[in-house]
Structure 1
């Protein structure tokens, strides 16, 4: 399949996708009721989208094209309310969070679509272990060259989004010590991690042709990169975020990305280089392992700082762009979370109260469903 032409989109428009957990209200383990829920939501009102994911205990919701924080937050809250009403009819709950705290991958059931069955045949047990839950954010770009420039420029900020969104400390009943254990599951897949350093859409087309000629890649969906271009949408897609515990935070993270992109495009504070990726894997690991307490190395100066401090400095740097894009409320929500702690901190705090993990998941469900 040849690489699609890059569709021109309005710059800095947004689209948000959230992968969500379906849990039983009896024991708060995952519940394989995606088909039942999708049937109830078949005639939902709103421009948003809902569809299955790889296993039957998860769904993915997608916003319409958005430009500002308030309308995006309003749409996600409408979506949350309609999903919650449908879930209550089935006696299930819906939760955010990057992993379920104690589900076992071997219990999961592949959702019956041709692509998901293909992935199950190809990846074996990894397909069921991919029952993890992320937030993806699309940002509109006018052409492929600008999309690739922005993709590489954003590499310095990937740890911000991992640390701010981290909500997956528990896996199969154990505290992993990671704030975002979810990304370890993603990293198990071939063609995950960072995109190759190509700067033009023509050059990317040559790379894509070489990959498809090997038979390893059939389409852009086979790339599990942290940020990837989506030519059919005219966007780049950030894929590192865990699904937050609330839709308000999901909207705030999307607008933080929008404002950083605005800052990078308009001020061009640096030119991305291949050497920016020398510290990429270290910075990514620090954010996954330690969250806001992790360290980040500047690829230019080689200086280290706390991720929390780097985020605070970045929020101050993009304030003017947040004002122009009516996203100050989003920035302030994230400022508060930088000091209060991310969702992984909240989940651990609930466990530290002596709660069973089922009660922790119940609390997360109540937070998401309101």
Structure 2
């Protein structure tokens, strides 16, 4: 009998309710043909010399870099920190004759050309997942929301799950893969779904119950820690947060901050009004709704979990924004929410901008160049 002891679930740290933090995975591209460029080491060395909020770290492959804010109390604070990080990234990239850009996928990179970043965890993942690891050269935004205790975090997690399609459609920026229009607004998430520990968290509403589930799972040896779960939303006990992981990286930091403001406003609505009790049956339509949002973006159909009503996702987003508007005003997120309302009303997301740019320019490299200018804050539209 194996005497190895399964790892225990760590205790849930306290954090202030409604604090937020944002992580952005970004593309490094050369300025010759705008393909991905393996310059993360050089970028990290240059960035380390600049005093900045949050953190800058490597990601799975060496053409990626991740920036993170610290703990913020408003989406304007998020935007302030992301602005400092973005401006430093742009200066460092200019020194290396490369560029940084958002977007959930690079439109024409070849996965087999990517290099795994030399870090023990990334090497272990590469050994375990094979070619999927290089195909994980995709770029997402993660939003953390502070929760005062573990049980309220799980309640928040399952309430947020109803809005996964909204998050996907509003952030979608990955229509092109390997030089082709995939016909998805968010093709990035198809790469995430290939991993066995992706999907959604088990339906538990107490940390004790979650701990029992975690113990059973770790006893199998399939997972060793919370890091092994690639769920759409997962608890982060060491931070005292839940982490929403379905957003594509937007093309601008303004959009990234607006999405964080939306999440924060939703969380405030949940806490103040307790609008509904999540239940396991919510997940009967979860996979369908998520697929619709990935495939069709703001033109998707949304199935309301309780009533089974089918309606345009765009319409449900607008209804939701109306409900959270008073809380957004209190949090100073009203401008952020209004920008998302405008997107939903006009069915405009970053995937649409990318397609329209490609339709006009007929050259994917030029589309990437214009995306990099957008990231700098220079481009219009």
TM-score bin (small chain): over 0.9
Deviation at 1:270, TM superposition (A): 0.8
Alignment partner of 1:368 is 2:358? no
Deviation at 1:74, TM superposition (A): 1.3
Q: Which residue of 1 aligns with 2:352?
A: 345
Bigger shift: residues 226-235 or 43-52: 43-52
Deviation at 1:340, TM superposition (A): 5.2
Deviation at 1:359, TM superposition (A): 0.4
Q: Which residue of 2 aligns with 1:318?
A: 324
CA RMSD after TM alignment: 0.7
Q: Which residue of 2 aligns with 1:181?
A: 187
Alignment partners' CA distance in 2, 1:323 and 1:268: 18
Aligned residues of 2:157 and 2:242 also touching (Cα < 8 A): yes
TM-score normalised to the size of structure 1? Answer: 0.99
Alignment partner of 1:3 is 2:9? yes
Q: Which residue of 2 aligns with 1:15?
A: 21
Aligned residues of 2:358 and 2:367 also touching (Cα < 8 A): yes
Q: Which residue of 1 aligns with 2:362?
A: 355
Alignment partners' CA distance in 2, 1:337 and 1:243: 16
Alignment partners' CA distance in 1, 2:53 and 2:104: 25
Structure-to-structure mapping, 1:285-296, within 5 angstroms: 285-296=291-302
Structure-to-structure mapping, 1:38-117, within 5 angstroms: 38-117=44-123
Alignment partner of 1:259 is 2:280? no
Alignment partner of 1:202 is 2:190? no
* Residues 315-367 of structure 1, C-alpha deviations (whole Å, 9 max, x = no match): 11111000110111111111222225000000000111143000001111110
Alignment partners' CA distance in 2, 1:207 and 1:369: 45
Alignment partners' CA distance in 2, 1:3 and 1:156: 26
TM-score normalised to the size of structure 2? Answer: 0.96
Unmatched 5+ stretches in structure 2: 1-6
* Residues 103-132 of structure 1, C-alpha deviations (whole Å, 9 max, x = no match): 010000000000000000000000000000
Deviation at 1:241, TM superposition (A): 0.2
* Residues 249-268 of structure 1, C-alpha deviations (whole Å, 9 max, x = no match): 00000010000011011111
Alignment partners' CA distance in 2, 1:133 and 1:193: 17
Q: 1:153 aligns with which of 139, 151, 159?
A: 159
Unmatched 5+ stretches in structure 1: none
Alignment partners' CA distance in 1, 2:210 and 2:99: 42
Alignment partners' CA distance in 2, 1:173 and 1:256: 32
Q: 1:329 aligns with which of 331, 335, 343?
A: 335
Q: 2:34 aligns with which of 24, 28, 33?
A: 28
Alignment partners' CA distance in 2, 1:211 and 1:92: 44
Alignment partner of 1:129 is 2:135? yes
Secondary structure of 1:26's counterpart equals coil
The total of aligned residue pairs comes to 370
Secondary structure of 2:247's counterpart equals strand
Alignment partners' CA distance in 2, 1:163 and 1:204: 29
Secondary structure of 2:56's counterpart equals strand
Deviation at 1:43, TM superposition (A): 2.2
Aligned residues of 2:298 and 2:347 also touching (Cα < 8 A): no
Q: Write out the 4+ residue segments of structure 1 that deviate beyond 6 Å after TM superposition.
A: none
Q: 2:233 aligns with which of 211, 224, 227?
A: 227
Q: Which residue of 1 aligns with 2:4?
A: none
Secondary structure of 1:232's counterpart equals coil
Alignment partners' CA distance in 2, 1:17 and 1:117: 22
